[in-house]
Structure 1
Amino acid sequence: MSSPTRFHLLQDIDGYNPDTLDLHQDAEAKEYWFNCFYKLVLKFEQQAAKSQISDNTAVDRAAKYRKHYLAQLNQLKQEDCSLNKRPLSIRNLLELNESTLRMFGFDDPWKDQKRIENSGSIRKLNARLQQLDQLESMTGKWIEIVKGVLAGNMFDWGAQAVSQILESDANFGLKEALERIQKRPWLIDCLDQWLERMQGSPHRCATIFTDNSGIDIVLGIIPLVRELLLRQTKVLLCANTNPALNDITYNELKEVITQCCTECEVISDAYDTGMLKILGNEQNGPCLDFSLMTPDLCDEIAESDLVIIIGMARALHTNLNTKFTCETLKLAVVKNEWLAKRLGGETFSVICKYENV
């Protein structure tokens, strides 16, 4: 796949393909994922209408969104892949959903939900940081930080298995998520290698590709950011430029970090001095395609000697097998039963893939 820009940290820039699956080449996967999206579109329709409840055209526009998206799904499913050599991925279906929502006037259906969850999580940040600081060993602290990132990744309104939990239990929080994710050994378990690496010299610069709003970013990722900053590692936090599901956006992340600065002096000092920077990743959906990044963004990230990719869409649907020229840590909870079984695990299995070039 030819790249219009040059993301310098890829081992194979010209051959880079972000997608883990080509649905045209995998009949079982194609059948499963199209059926999955056929069901999810009803949830997306309801969320779209709910997000603009004061607009008397919202219900009608949401219904039109659903019909249009289903028509496009049917067209893609019936494509003769022998005539069309273009790959078809889960990323394509997710991006198509976002563009169709916008076509009918729904720019960010989860906006209010994200704001509520961000505010609620920030109120709990100080207690979470104190809990981590009370751990006696640095190894124990890093284990808890990584588990916190994984547990935070549970809070994904785009995952049906999780949304059912969140809708039925208003008290489901980080503690409950920590209990729900897979116990070690994990499906892909490189935690010991990561812990050994963190006993060595600090990284110069870490780029972290964020995922969901709320507990994920605030109680999962911010403690990770803080610990890297304490090691004098510069941190670049990359968020979606455009809305996608309940993923945090670049503008929302700036607001969250500003609020976190009032709760944590380490975050505040780093943000003031430029040791912590917020970037937009130029994506059109929840997945991560490095070929879409602008030259300026590629240049900004080029100094990184550590890349951390978080979430199913970014680290599993895309980039699971991508090789980089620097160290990488890919963290995700597999919130889909079919995919977990395909990988040899169960729902809420854990991906912790560390690679040291």
Structure 2
Amino acid sequence: MESSEELVAIPLLTTPIESNYRACTIPYRFPSDNPKKPTPTELSWIDLFLNSIPSFRKRAESDESVPDAHIRAEKFAQRYTEILEDFKKDPESHGGPPDCILLCRLREQVLREVGFRDIFKKVKDEENAKAISLFEDVVRLNDAIEDGIKRVENLVRGIFAGNVFDLGSAQLAELFSKDGMSFLASCQNLVPRPWVIDDLDAFILKWSRKSWKKVVIFVDNSGADIILGILPFARELLRRGTQVVLAANELPSINDVTYHELTEIISKLKDERGQLVGVDTSNLLIANSGNDLPVIDLSRISQELAYLASDADLVILEGMGRGIETNLYAQFKCDSLKIGMVKHPEVAQFLGGRLYDCVFKFNEVLS
């Protein structure tokens, strides 16, 4: 079940869609590989998705909106396991060879086929309510930092801290169900700089010139991620006179925030004058990206977002799925930032970094 409208390419990509753009950062296979035999990379990613099945089944079983949820959850687990095991025998089965986009898409399809629409709805609502109650405090702590450079650095650290809330990572899902997560503790416990990709100094230099007129941010998770990480950062841009477009998924996927949920969150955070803690929001737009996965193929976005993005001078892809696993090397006609935390050992190994390392990849287009 994908977007109901025809999807188009984002007009800001410099690479012609028909030739070089591929929405997959890690090469799963090469032309010389045997098409009938899975590569070591494919096998490791198939195992990663296999290992996530128990946490997805558990979430599905607790979905009170679906009758016979435990029976349907078991069907999901069996069917998706079969598909992944099929890939190990024949990488070309089920529309393969597999990559992270196909593996995510098939997982969503199986969930929907057995009757689940949004198995993370309850936890998203709980986390959104918690984060909304903390939003003003987080913003005021940021506002109290008088040094502009230190303030933007703190806002960036907040994005990383918020991005920890990711239930698509089996390890983090387990940790979350045991202990929950503290946003401020996550801020303090980030791996120290230099990060595995660390262009923060170059970004701050460009930030200090106040040169961006319009920024498009592809957002990631519900809860602390969007409310305590991205929104304080977006508010700071608004305060500087920048127009900000927040692009969120059309349909639910893992604990990613959807377009409808984001609209609701922002209406709850605004005061009676339509402000976000004293900052005017008339320059804040929320767009439906047309996407239904935790990763994104930028050759398939909504026409609305393509129109809104056409004159942006900074594109931000946030989160491991959108900013690291699928678009780390995507080239744009404008400045771009890929920001996210590394939450899979396979990604850490590919990048030569550590688990829970930070990626801050900034590309400036020199005019």
Question: Deviation at 1:296?
Answer: 3.3
2:139 aligned residue (124, 129, 134): 129
- Stretches of structure 1 that go unaligned for 5 or more consecutive residues are none
Match of 1:8 in 2: 11
Query: After superposition, what is the alpha-carbon deviation per residue over 1:302-354, rounded to whole angstroms, capped at 9, x for unaligned?
Result: 11101011000001110011000000111110012232133111111000000
CA contact (8 A) 1:230 1:266 kept: no
Tell me the residue number matched to 2:76.
Answer: 65
Contact in 2 for aligned 1:108/1:244 (Cα 8 Å): yes
Within a 5 Å distance, the mapping from 1:43-58 to structure 2 comes to 43-52=55-64, 56-58=67-69
Counterpart for residue 188 of structure 1: 197
Partner SS, residue 290 of structure 1: coil
Letter in 2 for 1:345: G
Q: Does 1:31 align with 2:34?
A: no
1:241 is the counterpart of 2:250: yes
Higher helix share: 1
Instruction: Quote how far apart the aligned CAs of 1:197 are.
Output: 0.5
Cα drift, residue 130 of structure 1: 0.7
Q: Is residue 289 of structure 1 aligned with residue 294 of structure 2?
A: no
Which amino acid in 1 is paired with 2:83?
A: Q
Change over 3 Å in CA distance of 1:84–1:98 after alignment to 2 = closer
CA RMSD of aligned residues (A): 2.2
Q: Residues 174 and 269 of structure 1: is their aligned pair in 2 closer, same or farther, counting only changes over 3 Å? A: closer
Structure 1 residues 89 and 268: CA distance shift in structure 2, 3 A: farther
**Which residue in 2 is equivalent to 1:77?**
88
63 and 227 in structure 1: CA distance in 2 versus 1, 3 angstrom threshold: same
Q: Deviations over 1:13-57 (max 9, x none)?
A: 3232111124344822212111111121121111111112x7551
Mapping of residues 110-121 of structure 1, within 5 Å: 110-121=120-131
Could you list the runs of 5+ residues in structure 2 that have no partner in the other structure?
1-5, 31-37
Are the structure 2 counterparts of residues 29 and 286 from structure 1 closer, same or farther at C-alpha, using a change threshold of 3 Å? same
Contact 1:145 1:220 in 2 (8 A): yes
Structure 1 residue 93 and structure 2 residue 142: aligned? no
Q: Matched residue pairs, number? A: 350
Kept in 1: contact 2:165–2:221 (CA 8 A): yes
User: In 2, distance between residues paired with 1:281 and 1:253?
Assistant: 12
Instruction: Name the CA distance, whole Å, in 2 between partners of 1:299 and 1:87.
Output: 33
Q: 316, 319, 334: which one pairs with 1:326?
A: 334
Q: Note if contact 2:248-2:262 (Cα within 8 Å) is conserved in structure 1.
A: yes
- The superposition leaves residues 263-297 of structure 1 with CA deviations (integer Å, 9 ceiling, x where unpaired) of 982478644x3x11111111121101111113332
Farther off after superposition, 338-347 or 197-206: 338-347
Q: Which of 298, 310, 317 is residue 318 of structure 2 equivalent to? A: 310
Q: Contact 2:213–2:242 (CA<8 Å) still a contact in 1? A: yes
Q: Determine what percentage of the aligned residue pairs are the same residue.
A: 31
Aligned residue among 255, 262, 283 for 1:253: 262
* Amino acid across the alignment from 1:251: H
Runs of 4+ in 1 over 3 A off after TM superposition: 83-87, 266-271
Return the offset for 1:190: 0.3
Quote the residue 1:205 is aligned against: 214
1:280 aligns with 2:280: no
CA drift of 1:136 comes to 2.0
Contact kept, 8 Å, 2:221 with 2:257, in 1: the verdict is: yes
Q: What TM-score, normalized to structure 1? A: 0.92
